[in-house]
Amino acid sequence: MMKQIFNDSRRAAGSLLSMTAEHVNDILIALADDVEAASAALLAANAADLARMDAENPKRDRLALTPQRIAEIASGIRAVAALPSPVGNVLDRRTRPNGMTITKVSVPFGVIGVIYEARPNVTFDVFALCLKAGSAVLLKGGREAAETNRAAIAIIRGTMEAAGVNPDAAILLPDGREATAALLSARDYVDLIIPRGSRSLIDYVRDNARVPVIETGAGVCHTYFHNSGDIATARDVVCNAKTRRVSVCNALDCLVVDRSRLSVLPALCYSLAEHGVHIYADDEAYEALDGAYPYLHKAAADDFGREWLDYKMSIATVEGIDEAIDFIGRNGSKHSECIVAENREAIERFQRDVDAACVYANVSTAFTDGAQFGFGAEIGISTQKLHARGPMALPEIVTYKYVITGSGQTRP
């Protein structure tokens, strides 16, 4: 069965090559309308998924759909439609001394497999981006969102059928590890796999895939409060990065504080208490917050380098920027890191030396997002360095080929 699914996807990818950009955009606009029209069905399917999840699970926020979130999904699809096509662009052209012309042109990958966890908006985001980039997509969602994903793929395939397009350009794979294992081994059918989710998911895909992989998703994010940092700025940046949405990969996991600023730590952290954030502090930070912060715990060694995905964070004390950069290098995931500072030299040093996809100064790490970067949407946040890094938007989900034209030239 899986071989037949992969064959169907490969054939559908071939049929997309002849589609015009206008036709693609029309399909996406129609899909946005269909998503809004099917809001009640999506919410009902999502309610069935939510009923199976523990009410205290912090990942529940990732899974939940609301009328506003459905409207945002539709808006995101329309935003992708409004973007220029990434396919068929001339990236370079040169004519050799013998008159031969070599043109580098952007082209679709072909078939992209995306493995993701309980985030039903990803189903729509990924399809919209892959269609715009000319690729078929194989979707492997998490069991937690099974009903929502099935409702979503029904809408997507219905829209494509109505537009006269092969609906196998978007296939939701069956539940279970067997489908995942088959996808990871489908070298003859799948051109690229992108895992989007927890560190354990990404590690599993990377360690078991025989298909090329771009890693996205897991984020262990730090904010460093430099000795020149403004307290009000730090308070706002830290609180937003931690509490805006705790279950996403750009959420703050660890506050790194210069030893000389420990005395202002209670003032910096008080707004976190309003959100019920539990702090796991090293000995020095614990002493500074003891009696002044209600949800305080002593940190264990494994509380650093942890992606919390919850109303929890750690605090580490350092002696200056050298220690801060070293600490982040040892404990980060190369996702998003921030410095709060007024000293220009410190900011430039941090942004130069910290090895991460996105490095901020006086800005919340919550902005690591394709839409916030003006890319329309994203397929994930790449934390690696080959091909794509940071928010993977349309330019990152195409590849290229060389087209060579001549007039009978032969090589001596």
112-126, 322-336, 348-362, 370-384: which has the minimum mean pLDDT? Answer: 370-384
> Which of the four pLDDT bands, split at 50, 70 and 90, describes residue 311?
very high
Q: Stretch 187-212: mean pLDDT, rounded?
A: 90
**What pLDDT was estimated at residue 62?**
83
Name residue, tokens 């809004």: 36
Q: Stretch 172-201: mean pLDDT, rounded?
A: 91
Outline which parts of the chain fall under CATH 3.40.605.10: 2-216+379-405
Residue 151 has pLDDT above 80, yes or no: yes
| Long-range CB contacts (within 8 A, 24+) of 278-283 | 278/311, 278/312, 278/313, 279/312, 279/313, 279/314, 279/315, 280/312, 280/313, 280/314, 280/315, 281/314, 281/315, 282/314, 282/315, 282/316, 282/317
Helix, strand, or coil (residue 172)? strand
Q: Mean pLDDT of all residues in the chain?
A: 94
Residue 217 has pLDDT above 80, yes or no: no
Residue 7 has pLDDT above 80, yes or no: yes
* Nearest in space to 120 (alpha carbons), one of 164, 157, 152, 84: 152
> Which of the four pLDDT bands, split at 50, 70 and 90, describes residue 385?
confident
Using CB atoms within 10 Å of the CB of residue 160, give its burial: 0 to 12 exposed, 13 to 18 middle, 19+ buried.
Answer: buried
Residue 207 CA to residue 210 CA, distance in Å, equals 9
Residue 329 or residue 392, greater confidence = 329
pLDDT digits over 253-291, tens only? 999 999 999 999 999 999 999 999 999 999 999 999 999
pLDDT digits over 24-62, tens only? 999 999 999 999 999 999 999 999 999 999 888 877 888
221-367: CATH, from 3.40.50.300, 3.30.2350.10, 3.40.309.10, 3.10.20.600: 3.40.309.10
DSSP string, 81-120: HHSPP-TT-EEEEEE-TTS-EEEEEEEE-SEEEEEE-S-T
Q: Stretch 157-161: mean pLDDT, rounded?
A: 98
**What pLDDT was estimated at residue 177?**
87
**What pLDDT was estimated at residue 384?**
86
> Which of the four pLDDT bands, split at 50, 70 and 90, describes residue 175?
confident
| CATH class of the region 2-216+379-405 | alpha beta
**What pLDDT was estimated at residue 374?**
83
**What pLDDT was estimated at residue 164?**
96
Outline which parts of the chain fall under CATH 3.40.309.10: 221-367
How many CA atoms within 13 Å lie on the side-chain side of 185? 8
**What pLDDT was estimated at residue 132?**
97
End-to-end CA distance of the chain: 51
